[in-house]
Amino acid sequence: MLEAADVSNRGVWLQANNLDDLNALTPQMLAKDGLSLSNSANLSLLSSTFASGKPQAAGFNVPYAAFPMASSLAQALRPYPQFTNIAVDWAPKGNVWYNALQAKATMREWHGLYAQYAFTWQKELTTAESTQVNDVFNLPVQRAISGSSIPLVSAFMYNYHVPAIASNKLLRTLQRDWTLGGSFRYQSGLPILSPYATNNLQAVLPRNTSNTPTFADRVPGVPLFTNTVNCHCYDPSQTFILNPAAWTQPPAGQFGTAAPYYNDYRWQRQPTESMSLGRTFRIREKATLSVRAEFFNIFNRVFLSAPTSTNSSQTQVKAGANTVSGFGYINTAVTSIQVAGGAVPTVRNGQIVARIQF
């Protein structure tokens, strides 16, 4: 049996608390005071403290008598200068878009064999992942692929009940009631977060510190990786897999132009492959004992942890031939299967399960 479907989903009013920043300083607010993020002298003034006397010399006063003199002019110009972060709950500003082709082929049990194959080609866009917000006052540009985006998924499973075909009674007893099973899932790697900018935007345009400061700019045409992440053609303990030349810093005081995630900026594919072997023993007419051995990561694949990726300007350090730290560093001491929401360490392992049914 073959099935195919076009599946679309549109979600609105999802909770996205960081899309509502009540105490953010904006370029429009600065303009009212004659300040611009494009002016280097203004940038220096905004980061200056009242203890330095520079804001007062430029005609600015503390917003209230007890305002800390060690605080900056940028802090004083915020809507509520007495606070840094103002928490927001239940802000219904998130949106999601989902479109997919979902196909499935099912073979009904035939001579003891049952099999099913499923394929999904999907795209997930969102503004609701509020932990990665570049500019809360320009929400249309926040729409990007999800950090959990997996555009291609291919899954196959089977279960085979070994038939008793021998004519000899003893051989039939030994042969029957065995089952073989398997589950195999192959999918795209999860996207890697774009590196943060290091232009110190937070100092001149303070916002909720749980929001992203801003992202570095992507350099068009420059490879994101120094090697193909899914090949076995490099030594991960001696290779910085990410290319720092693919990113550049935005000008001082400016928002970066990069999206949080890109379709072509993903970590390695990490399949899940499991198999089982079991048998059912008939104790008497109404009682059976089932014993099954289950094996996970059956081919003992090595899954590398995602590389260090938050700062493209971070110095790449080696000790001899081995990488130690820096942008693109892979910690080979940790192996994992990367899943949405985190990484699950794994090596080939198995378990035996027994069940009595009566």
Predicted confidence (pLDDT) per residue in 122-145, tens digit = 999 998 876 677 777 777 777 889
C-alpha separations of 255 from 130, 138, 158, 291, 341 in Å: 17, 11, 51, 60, 27
Domain coordinates in residue numbering, the chain: 24-76, 89-357
Backbone angles phi, psi at 155, to 5 degrees: -130, 140
Instruction: Count Cα neighbours of 196 within 13 Å in the Cβ-side half-sphere.
Output: 15
Residue 310, Cα to own-chain centre: how many angstroms? 12
Neighbours of 349 (CB within 10 A): 11
Range of weakest confidence among 7-16, 84-93, 97-106:
84-93
Average pLDDT over residues 63-83: 96
Neighbours of 340 (CB within 10 A): 10
State the pLDDT at residue 208. 77
pLDDT digits (tens, 9 = 90+) for 256-300: 889 889 999 999 998 999 999 999 888 888 899 999 999 999 999
Evaluate if residue 344 carries a pLDDT over 60: no
Q: Are 197 and 295 in contact (CB under 8 A)?
A: no
The fraction of the chain above a pLDDT of 70, given in percent, is 95
Helices (H) and strands (E) in the chain — how many of each?
6, 15
Q: How confident is the model at residue 341 (pLDDT cuts 50, 70, 90)?
A: very low
Range of weakest confidence among 60-69, 98-107, 147-156, 201-210:
201-210
pLDDT digits (tens, 9 = 90+) for 25-42: 989 999 999 999 999 999
State the pLDDT at residue 313. 94
Place of tokens 């049990």: 109
Maximum mean pLDDT: which of 207-221, 306-320, 339-353 = 306-320
pLDDT digits (tens, 9 = 90+) for 157-213: 999 998 877 777 777 777 778 999 999 999 999 999 999 999 888 889 888 766 667
Evaluate if residue 2 carries a pLDDT over 70: yes
Q: What angle do CA 247, 251, 253 make, to 5 degrees?
A: 125
Nearest to 338 by CA among 303, 310, 307: 303
Q: Are 199 and 180 in contact (CB under 8 A)?
A: no
Q: What angle do CA 292, 297, 298 make, to 5 degrees?
A: 60
